[in-house]
Copies of this chain bind each other. A is one copy, B any other.
Amino acid sequence: MSGFTHFDAEGRAQMVDVGDKPATERIATAKGRVVMAPETLAMIVEGRAKKGDVLAVARLAGIMAAKKTADLIPLCHPLMLSKVAVDLVPLPPDRIEIEATVKLTGQTGVEMEALTAVSVAALTVYDMVKAVDRGMRIEDIRLTHKSGGKSGSFDAA
* Residues on A facing B (Cβ under 8 Å): 1, 3-8, 10-19, 25, 32, 43, 47, 50-54, 56-57, 59-61, 63-68, 70-87, 103-107, 111-112, 115-116, 119-120, 122-124, 126-132, 134-143, 146, 151, 154, 156
Contacts and interface: CB of A to CB of B under 8 A. Distances in A.
A8 B59 CA distance: 13
11 contacts: A1-B51, A11-B51, A11-B52, A15-B63, A73-B120, A73-B123, A78-B79, A112-B127, A119-B123, A130-B143, A138-B142
Given A16-B83, A78-B78, 18 more contacts: A4-B47, A4-B54, A5-B131, A6-B57, A11-B52, A12-B56, A12-B85, A14-B63, A15-B63, A61-B73, A63-B75, A67-B70, A76-B127, A112-B123, A115-B126, A115-B138, A135-B143, A137-B142
